[in-house]
Amino acid sequence: MIKINNLHATVNGKEILKGINLEIPAGEVHAIMGPNGSGKSTLSYVLAGREGYEVTQGSVTFEGQDLLAMRPEERAAAGLFLAFQYPVEIPGVQMSNFLKTALNSVRKQRGEDELDALAFLKLVKAKMRALGVHDDMLKRPVNVGASGGEKKRNEVLQMAMLEPRFAVLDETDSGLDIDALKVVADGVNSLRGADRSFLVITHYQRLLDYIKPDVVHVLADGKIVKTGGAELAHELEEKGYAGYTGQAA
């Protein structure tokens, strides 16, 4: 599905990613754990194509395509989705308008028919019911005044609408209490399937109790320093990142 090869990236001239190698086959869920400042969020932004994150070396191949040569919207259309750690508030833009514009942009790029207002509403309402998102949300401006839990649920709703092949969840657990965490995890789990892969980025093992990974990677100082099974997450929870960074995280 996605293959990251010797990826180096800088932000404001400072090298943050220092040679990442990672391959995620279709249908698998991989987790990346690491201390603050290890480059977790940088990796997610580089994959999504944010300006200011400069790739200096290496390659990313997504379903046979050169991901790094694509614009952010082309990546979305190709099936990449980033669930933001801090979903952005957009005053004045109604959620329904935002979602419909996004969905139809993606459908157009994928060569599918655009949905009319009625078909869109039917689809989004069904997805919202499944995720326990309140109808009000469609009329509200995107993420404005929403709680941490609502924002993360909103991210999962967007993911469910856009039906990506590969989703990156960037610290989706941050700012969530245990109930909200379960709801979000259930939403993600319902989207798991044989032809959809996930990269779950997190600081804590807690989220991985609910979204069970196939593989866990440890990221420290811009490199993957260890790879293992789900048990690696528990080990990290017990011992901390000290063994990987040379200092307590």
Partner 1 sequence: MIGLSPENLPTPRQEDWKYTSLSRAIPKKLVPEAAKSSILIHRNRGQICEQGEDILLTGQSGMLHSPVLKVVLEQGAELTLIERHEGVGSYWKNMDMEIILGKEAKFHHIRLIEDSVEAVSTLNTRIKMSESSFYSGFYLIQGGKLVRNEIHCLIEGEKAQCHFNGISLLQGEQHGDTTLCAEHKAQYTRSSQFFRTVLDDRARGVFQGKVYVHKNADKIEATQLSNALLLAEGTEMDTKPALEIYADDVKCTHGATTGKLDEAALFYMRSRGMSAQEARRLLIEAFVGGVVDKLEDEAVREIVYYKVQQWLKRRPDDI
**Helix, coil or strand: residue 95:** helix
- The H or E element that residue 42 is part of is helix 40-48
Distance CA 137, CA 169 (A): 21
Residues 236, 37: Cα–Cα separation, whole Å: 17
Q: Specify burial of residue 96 (Cβ count, 10 A radius: 0-12, 13-18, 19+).
A: middle
Q: Verify binding: residue 87, partner 1, rule CB under 8 A.
A: yes
- The minimum distance between CB 200 and partner 1, in angstroms, equals 17
Binding residue for partner 1, selected from 23, 66, 73, 135, defined by CB under 8 A = 73
Please list the residues that pair with 185 across neighbouring strands.
none
Nearest residue to 189 via CA among 160, 215, 218, 231: 160
Provide the terminal-to-terminal Cα distance of the chain, rounded to the nearest Å: 32
Q: Is 127 in the site for partner 1 (CB under 8 A)?
A: no
- For residues 66 and 171, what is the distance between their CA atoms, to the nearest angstrom? 26
Among positions 1, 20, 22, 77, the unique one binding partner 1 when judged by CB under 8 A: 77
Q: Which of 17, 24, 67, 75 binds partner 1 (CB under 8 A)?
A: 75
Q: Which of 38, 158, 172, 197 binds partner 1 (CB under 8 A)?
A: 158
Complex with partner 1: residue 41 or 158, whichever CB lies closer:
158
Cβ nearer to partner 1, comparing 34 with 49: 49
Q: Which stretch binds partner 1 (CB under 8 A): 4-12, 48-56, 169-177, 184-192?
A: 48-56
* Shortest CB 161 distance to partner 1, Å: 9
Burial degree of 179 (CB within 10 A; 0-12, 13-18, 19+): exposed
Nearer to partner 1, 84 or 198 (CB): 84
100 touching partner 1, by CB under 8 A: no
Q: Does 187 bind partner 1 (CB under 8 A)?
A: no
Summarize as ranges the residues that interact with partner 1 (CB under 8 A): 48-51, 71-73, 75-77, 81-82, 84, 87-93, 97-98, 101-103, 105-106, 109, 141, 158, 162
